[in-house]
Structure formats: structure tokens, C-alpha cells
Amino acid sequence: MLQVVGLDRSLAQRIIRTIRTIPETNHDSSSIEHGDDLDHTSTGESSSRKEVESIRLHMTELEEMVEKMTREKVEMETTLAVTSNQLKSACDQLVAAKGVGKYMQALKRKKEELDCQLESAKLELHKLQEKVRSFDRKLEEEKKFSTELLAKCQSMEVIRTTCD
């Protein structure tokens, strides 16, 4: 902000110190002693006093300006620090989110892999259920055949015992 005025802080402080060292002159006693020269020198001294007063007034304004700019600088530095912390926090959250995103992608791939395995297992289960039904049908046929065979055997046994 000091560059707006065209001065850097150390230069402004040196100018202020230099202006403060300019002595205030009191020409009242000397003007009485000089009589006729009073009007001529009085005008020059009055002009010098006005210039000095103008410089001091300008210096006061510059000092106030420097103080105001210093306060603004402190406020800006504080705001910058807060903003920097917020930015760091946001970056940390972004990094964490990217990590979570990668983890979620890995979980998604694992889920897809498990879904594939589940689908394969379902197909295998369907095939095995079909085989069980087929075995059940054959078992029923074998039971029926066994029953028929047992009946024939019993009939033959009865015939054999009657023939003997």
C-alpha cells in the first residue's frame, strides 16, 4: 500500500524524521530589533513559517497515512493467513477425497469381481439343481423298477415254492 504514495516505508520514515528535526523559529524578538527591515524580513519569515507549517501538516497527514496503511497491512496479513489455512484445509480434504475416491474405485472393482463370482456360482447352482432333479427322476425310476423287480421276484418265489 505504501507504493501507492510512491514511497517505501523506510524512506517515508526517514523523511518524517528529517522534517521533525527542522526547528521551529520564533522571529518575534529579532523582528523588534531590526526596525525597518522588519517588514521585508517579516514577509520572508512568514512565508517560511507557512512553508514549514505546510510541511508539518503534510508530514502529519503522511504519518496518519503510514499508520493507516500499516493497520491495513496487518489486517491483510491476518486475512491472508486465515485464507492460507482454509486453502490448506481444502487441499487436505481434496487429497483425502481423492484417497477415498481411489478406495471407492477399488471397492467397486472388488464388488464387480464378486458379482461375477456370484453369477458364476448361481449358474453352477442351477446346473447342480438340474443334476439333482435328474438324479431324483432316475431314483424314482429305479425305485419303481426295484418295486417291479421285487414283485416279480416274490411272484417267482411263490411259483417256485408252489412248484416244489
In a domain, 96, yes or no: yes
Residue 150, in any domain of the structure = no
Model pLDDT, residue 93: 92
What pLDDT, on the 0 to 100 scale, is given for residue 115? 96
**Taking a C-beta distance cutoff of 8 angstroms, is the pair 9, 66 a contact?**
yes
Are 20 and 59 a contacting pair, CB within 8 Å? yes
Count up the domains in the chain and report the number. Answer: 1
Residue 147 lies in a domain: no
Q: Which cell numbers hold the place of 64?
A: 496518519
Residue 149 lies in a domain: no
Q: What is the pLDDT of residue 8?
A: 67
Determine, yes or no, domain membership for 146.
no
Query: DSSP letter string over 59-110?
Result: HHHHHHHHHHHHHHHHHHHHHHHHHHHHHHHHHHHHHHHHHHHHHHHHHHHH
Q: What secondary structure does DSSP assign to 114-160, as a single string?
A: HHHHHHHHHHHHHHHHHHHHHHHHHHHHHHHHHHHHHHHHHHHHHHH
Mean pLDDT by groups of 10 residues along the chain of 164 residues = 52 72 52 46 73 89 91 94 95 90 93 96 96 95 93 90 83
In a domain, 102, yes or no: yes
pLDDT at 42: 59
151 in a structural domain: no
In a domain, 41, yes or no: yes
One-letter amino acid of 54: S
Range of the domain at 126: 2-141+156-163
